[in-house]
Structures are given as C-alpha cells and as structure tokens.
A and B are shown apart, each in its own frame.
Chain A
C-alpha cells in the first residue's frame, strides 16, 4: 500500500519538477519578448520625437513664406483687396 503511494508521489514530484523547468523556460522566452517590445517602443518614441521635430522644421513659417512667395507667386492679403461679408442678422 505505502509503496503505491510512494510511487504516485514520485511521479507527481517528477511531473512538478518538469513543469517548473518548462515554466522557467516560458518565462525566459516571454521576458526576452518583453524586452524586445519595450526597446521597440523606445525606438518608436524616439522616432516620434524626431518626426515632430521634422514637422516643426519643415513647417517653419519662414520656409512657408519663402515657398509661397518664390515658388507659388503668392502675396499677402490686405484689407484693401478683401471683400468682407457680414452674416445676416448679426448687424
């Protein structure tokens, strides 16, 4: 009788040991995955900051004005050339 119990317990112990090994393996695997994703997130953050910088650099008013004047032949609006409309009932 007691021999049988021992056998079952031994089997259980071995199973537990193996599952521990497996769990550890899985944990390492997931940890590596996590590390990689986090570094990817950091990389994307940096890229985002860089793109915002680029947007600001390219959207500089000095640059816009220069392109508008030189390439697109635009001139600033003046009140003299503007027709103002007043919505009905507001005045």
Chain B
C-alpha cells in the first residue's frame, strides 16, 4: 500500500514540475550527533582492529607460532644402527635388523571386534587369553610384543585395529649362534650389550641417533625440512680377531670331547703367536644367543676367561725355564728323583712312577713333581714370584674383555718351602686358561710376551722380554719331547707336524681340600714346532670316565684341534713324511 502511495507522490511531484534539489524530503535536517556517532563507531572499529593486530603480531606471536607449528611441524627421530660384528675375514657374527615393537592403547583396543583380536593374537603368536590379560590394564600404553619381524608387523597393521601402534626398533641376529657366542656376547631388547664383546665395545658399537624437524601435510607426507638435519651416526663395525673356521673347529672338538669323557665342561683357546690375537675361544656347555629363554648360568659361563683353576703340571715349564735362564741348570743337569716320594717338611711330594736319576729334559718329559720341586727349592721364592708375575699370573688382564679374572699368586714372603715346591708344579696357584695360554708365549716366541687382543691386529705388537731366546729354544725342545714316545702326552701328536706342549692334571680344590675324584685335565701346546704359529690350550673340567689325566683327556683334543687348524691355515708340514704316526683314532676319519 505504502509503496504504491510513494510512487504516487513522486509522480505527482514530477508532474508538478518540482526539481530534485527542491524536493521537500531533502530539506529535512538530521541532528549533527548522528553522523558523529557513525564516524566514532567506524573509528572505534578501526582502532579495535589495529589493537587486535598489534596484540596478535606483537605480543602473542610466540604462542601462536608455537600452536601453528604443533599442527604441521614434526620432529622425526633418526635412529642409528648398531655396528656389525664380523670375524677377521669379514663374515658377519652379529648384525642388527629393523623390527617393530607392537604396542596398544588398551581402552581403544577393547572395543575392537573379537574376531579381529583373535587374528591379532594368532599373528602375535600368543593365546587369546594372554592377549586379553595384557589388554586388561589401566595404563594407556602396553607393549603387546617386542621385536616382531617386519612382515608380521605389516600384517598386524593391515588388520586396522584402533589403538594398535608400532614402534621401530632393532633386533640383533647372531648367525653363528652358539659357536661364537662366548666371544661375541649378546644385547638386550634395548639394544644394549650385555656380555662379552657386545658389552666391552658398547660405546663404539652403539652409534649416535639423529633427528630432523619437518613440515608434514595432512596426509603425513613430508613437505620440507625446517631446520638443518642432525644426521645420525651409525655405530662403528667391529672386526674381531676370531677366525670363524678355527672357532668352529675348536667348538666341535671341545663339544665332542666333553661328551666323550662325560665331563662337566670344557674349554679351548687358540692364540696367534705372532700377533697375540685370539683366533678361537670355545666353551661347552654353551647357549644360543638368538633364543635365550632357557639360559642358565652354567651355559653363560665363559670358562676360558672367568674360571680359575690350579693348572697342575702345565706350570712346570715356568720354574724350569727360570732356572735355565739364570743358568742354575742346563737341560742335561742330573737330578735324583728317588723312588717317587720325597718328604719336604712333613709333606710328601709324589711322582706317578719312580724315575730315579734323570736329567732336566726328562723331568719335563715325564712330568716329575720331585724333579721340579728340587729345581724350585734351589731358587729364592722372590725370583719365582717375579717370573709368575711377569707372565701375567695373578695380574688383572687388560685386554678389554668383561669379567676376565686375575687368578691368584700369593705374595712370596709367605711361601713355605712345601708351598714353593707345590707351586712349581702348579698347586696353590690359580690361573685362568687364557692366562696360561698367554704365558706360553714366552716359549713359543723368542722369550718375550705380548698383550692379547680380541680385535684384529694390524701391526705386530712389541713384546716384553722375560727369558732369553736361547732358554725359549731349549724349552721348546723339551716341550716337544713331551709328545714324543716316552712323554706324558703322546696322544697330543699331530700327524705330519711337530708339536709340543705340557699336560696338567689338577685335583679340584673344593671345600678347603683337594678332591680325590674331581679333576681338571688341561694341555697347553704349540704348533708347528719348527716355527710356532698357534698356541692352543684345552681344559676339560671333571672328566667322569676312567681317564682323567690331562694327557689323556685334553691331549687328544689338542691333537685334533691342531691338526685341523694347521690344515685349515695351509701350514706346510714340518715333520718328515716317513715319520707319520697313524693316530689310533683313525677310524674317526670316515665319520
């Protein structure tokens, strides 16, 4: 209505000939304050905008930028891979492979359909009940299983259950398993070394993880880096001195003989005479580092490094060597060992057989306790103690191997004559097998001793002279006689090669007295005798059968080990071929 009337009026106005400027509507005067108000409101609005802009840009900018970053920027951890452990020829002994840890937010997972959970349990290789038990937790984070291999983890992700997440981690694999484990050791789930070289070299193996800040888009693709990347540094690879082939030979020989002699345990070590490298170190019983669920302390024990024992006669060469070096005796000095029993201050020293009048060479060859005692008692205790200390007995080993023991040599001031005599043939003094093997360096080399190494050695180490080269040569001759007919260890002979060594049989010291039934048989030898290359030491703990003497239990192990090692390393035979001894276990050859 009003619209109609309006148009009506304007038409009327025009028809009346009133010009626009004279329009009466224009003549109405508005009050001044109205325009002021509008102006003020507009100004206030601009001022408000300005203040807000100032507030956002100037005062809360840090907070806002942070909030923004949270929405698009991510920090990615760049894990470093633990270094590999290889043998001296580059064969991998331990290597890390990425795997996944599967974890869950229990509340979210509980809502998943039971059929899917059943499938999950199957993939995780656990029963449904076990899975439920794990999920029945108040915590917001539960590991379902760690170290799951990549393809299984992929299948789990494919199930698409809410609340199941994966986290990258590493699993360490030991392809050589039980054979090398006592040298290599193992790591725990956190990739930290727990035993042996894995523990000793933890710092260099572990590496330095890095990180990077990136912008991610909505789909999770990385758009760009916003800070410079902190590169991860992988752990350094470790090259051990171990020779896989010799290690395997040593391991199988130790294992076979422990079973053959019904022994409690056995151990063997092979040293390189020129470089001091440990070429093989084997123990039985042992364990599989890839599956340690049934690991026992017995299996874990590294007998070469951590067990000390009283070596028995294998210590005789040191007393005799010392006397030779000081020119108190010559290899042909005669000693009267009588009828096999000698009294030293109320104690009786026995020989297994009466030897009567024999020279020094025969004392070693026949392993006469009385002869060695007589030589020992002709020397001041301090000199013997110094000899033992120089070759490393009673000294804490510094070869970077965790758990290596020092053994025990009592201070010479408290030695009584009977004790000095006992020590000359290896009683009342305790050493580890590796110490014993290393001490023989002075005879295998030209009278000097060098440090041992579990890592590959590139340049020959400097030795410390202990006895003269002449003494070492004389001792080598005697040690060779031990394995020749008439000696105490003919079973240590190796066809085609000249070898030498010394047996030892110690009664175990238990509950404060020497056991009459429990022995440790050992043999330390070197081969080939014309230019010694290896020192091989073998120890058989508590042989259970009728034979328990070092020459009979450890001798054959030495023989087999040396024969295989010499052949494996292509060492030219130094024995005349007409002089081949057919071993009495020749039947084994066809095994």
Residues of B within 8 A of A60 (CB): 175-177, 179, 248
Asked whether, in the complex, the Cβ of B589 is within 8 Å of the Cβ of A59, the reply is no
Choose from B81, B223, B495, B497 the contact partner of A28 (Cβ within 8 Å). B223
Q: Which of B50-58, B95-103, B197-205, B371-379 contacts A (4 or more CB under 8 A)?
A: B95-103
Q: How far is the CA of A76 from the CA of B175 in the complex (A)?
A: 24
- The 8 A CB mask of A36-50 against B (1 = contact, 0 = none) is 000000000110011
Asked whether, in the complex, the Cβ of A79 is within 8 Å of the Cβ of B590, the reply is no
User: Knowing A28-B223, A46-B98, A84-B572 touch, does A56 contact B93 (C-beta < 8 A)?
Assistant: yes
Q: Which of A56, A60, A82 has the most CB of B within 10 A?
A: A56
Residues of A within 8 A of B176 (CB): 56, 60
Q: How far is the CA of A84 from the CA of B576 in the complex (A)?
A: 11
Judged by a CB distance under 8 angstroms, whether B308 is at the interface is no
Q: A40 to chain B: closest CB distance in Å?
A: 15
Choose from B91, B223, B589 the contact partner of A76 (Cβ within 8 Å). B589
User: Knowing A28-B224, A49-B95 touch, does A77 contact B173 (C-beta < 8 A)?
Assistant: no
Choose from B97, B580, B590 the contact partner of A53 (Cβ within 8 Å). B97
Judged by a CB distance under 8 angstroms, whether A2 is at the interface is no
Q: B564 to chain A: closest CB distance in Å?
A: 7
Q: How far is the CA of A50 from the CA of B171 in the complex (A)?
A: 12
Q: B178 to chain A: closest CB distance in Å?
A: 9
- Which single residue of chain B is at the shortest CB-CB distance from A84? B573
User: Knowing A52-B92, A56-B175, A60-B175 touch, does A80 contact B495 (C-beta < 8 A)?
Assistant: yes
User: Knowing A61-B248, A75-B589, A77-B567 touch, does A53 contact B496 (C-beta < 8 A)?
Assistant: no
- Which single residue of chain B is at the shortest CB-CB distance from A49? B95
Judged by a CB distance under 8 angstroms, whether B222 is at the interface is yes
Q: How far is the CA of A57 from the CA of B175 in the complex (A)?
A: 5
Q: A9 to chain B: closest CB distance in Å?
A: 29
Q: A76 to chain B: closest CB distance in Å?
A: 7
Judged by a CB distance under 8 angstroms, whether B577 is at the interface is yes
- Which single residue of chain B is at the shortest CB-CB distance from A52? B92
| Residue count of chain A within 8 Å CB distance of chain B | 28
- The 8 A CB mask of B563-590 against A (1 = contact, 0 = none) is 1100100001100010010100000011
Interface of B is mostly: mixed
Residues of B within 8 A of A31 (CB): 222-224
Choose from A35, A45, A84 the contact partner of B222 (Cβ within 8 Å). A35
Judged by a CB distance under 8 angstroms, whether B244 is at the interface is yes
CB contacts under 8 Å to A, within B262-309, are none
Asked whether, in the complex, the Cβ of B175 is within 8 Å of the Cβ of A49, the reply is no
- The 8 A CB mask of B239-259 against A (1 = contact, 0 = none) is 000001100110010000000
Judged by a CB distance under 8 angstroms, whether A55 is at the interface is yes
Q: A17 to chain B: closest CB distance in Å?
A: 20
Q: How far is the CA of A6 from the CA of B572 in the complex (A)?
A: 93
Q: How far is the CA of A77 from the CA of B495 in the complex (A)?
A: 11
Asked whether, in the complex, the Cβ of A76 is within 8 Å of the Cβ of B564, the reply is yes
Judged by a CB distance under 8 angstroms, whether B438 is at the interface is no
Asked whether, in the complex, the Cβ of B248 is within 8 Å of the Cβ of A49, the reply is no
- Which single residue of chain B is at the shortest CB-CB distance from A55? B92
Q: How far is the CA of A50 from the CA of B175 in the complex (A)?
A: 11
User: Knowing A46-B97, A55-B92, A59-B91 touch, does A79 contact B179 (C-beta < 8 A)?
Assistant: no
- The 8 A CB mask of A53-91 against B (1 = contact, 0 = none) is 101110111100100010000011111101010000000
User: Knowing A75-B590, A84-B573 touch, does A61 contact B96 (C-beta < 8 A)?
Assistant: no
Q: Which of A59, A79, A80, A84 has the most CB of B within 10 A?
A: A79
Judged by a CB distance under 8 angstroms, whether B316 is at the interface is no
Asked whether, in the complex, the Cβ of A62 is within 8 Å of the Cβ of B179, the reply is yes
Q: How far is the CA of A79 from the CA of B528 in the complex (A)?
A: 14
Q: How far is the CA of A19 from the CA of B244 in the complex (A)?
A: 62
Asked whether, in the complex, the Cβ of B92 is within 8 Å of the Cβ of A56, the reply is yes
Asked whether, in the complex, the Cβ of A53 is within 8 Å of the Cβ of B92, the reply is yes
Q: How far is the CA of A56 from the CA of B89 in the complex (A)?
A: 12
Judged by a CB distance under 8 angstroms, whether B84 is at the interface is yes
Q: How far is the CA of A53 from the CA of B170 in the complex (A)?
A: 14
Asked whether, in the complex, the Cβ of B244 is within 8 Å of the Cβ of A80, the reply is no
- Which single residue of chain A is at the shortest CB-CB distance from B177? A60
Asked whether, in the complex, the Cβ of B244 is within 8 Å of the Cβ of A78, the reply is no
Asked whether, in the complex, the Cβ of A84 is within 8 Å of the Cβ of B84, the reply is no
Asked whether, in the complex, the Cβ of A61 is within 8 Å of the Cβ of B582, the reply is no
Q: How far is the CA of A79 from the CA of B582 in the complex (A)?
A: 9
With contacts A35-B222, A79-B496, A79-B580 known, what are 5 further pairs, Cβ within 8 A? A49-B96, A59-B91, A61-B179, A78-B563, A78-B589
Q: Which residues of B contact A (CB under 8 A)?
A: 81, 84, 91-93, 95-98, 173, 175-177, 179, 221-224, 244-245, 248-249, 252, 495-497, 563-564, 567, 572-573, 577, 580, 582, 589-591
The 9 closest A-B pairs by CB, nearest first: A79-B496, A61-B248, A56-B175, A57-B175, A56-B92, A79-B495, A52-B92, A53-B95, A56-B91
Show 16 A/B contacts (Cβ-Cβ < 8 Å), sorted by A. Answer: A27-B224, A50-B97, A52-B95, A53-B97, A53-B173, A55-B91, A56-B95, A56-B175, A61-B179, A76-B564, A77-B567, A78-B563, A79-B496, A79-B573, A82-B496, A84-B572
